[in-house]
Amino acid sequence: MKIRYSVENINCQKCANTILNSLSDEFDDIEVFLDKEPREISVRLESKEQEAAFKKEMDEIGFPVIAELERN
């Protein structure tokens, strides 16, 4: 399932690259949208456990998830 979130502290392409480099091995199909405010990210997650792990790792690297915006 593809989920879109709004996320804090994403300011530039360097922030987006940090997210992609840190999480792309563990999580599939990550996209960062720098044209939205607050910034948005989408990721493919297959379970509630994987979703919890994603949110925890985002928080640990300094980009906490604010809210869920959409599930597809």
Q: Is the pLDDT confidence value at 70 over 90?
A: yes
The architecture in CATH of the region 2-71 reads: 2-Layer Sandwich (3.30)
pLDDT at 50: 96
pLDDT at 53: 98
pLDDT at 34: 97
pTM given for the model: 0.94
Residues 6 or more apart whose CB falls under 8 angstroms from that of 52 comprise none
pLDDT in tens, 4-58: 999 999 999 999 999 999 999 999 899 999 999 999 999 999 999 999 999 999 9
The two tokens of residue 62 are 């300094």
pLDDT at 28: 85
Instruction: Give dist(CA 40, CA 5) in Å, integer.
Output: 6
Instruction: Give dist(CA 28, CA 19) in Å, integer.
Output: 12
- Which segments of 1-72 does DSSP mark as H helices, in order? 13-23, 48-60
Domain ranges of the chain: 2-71
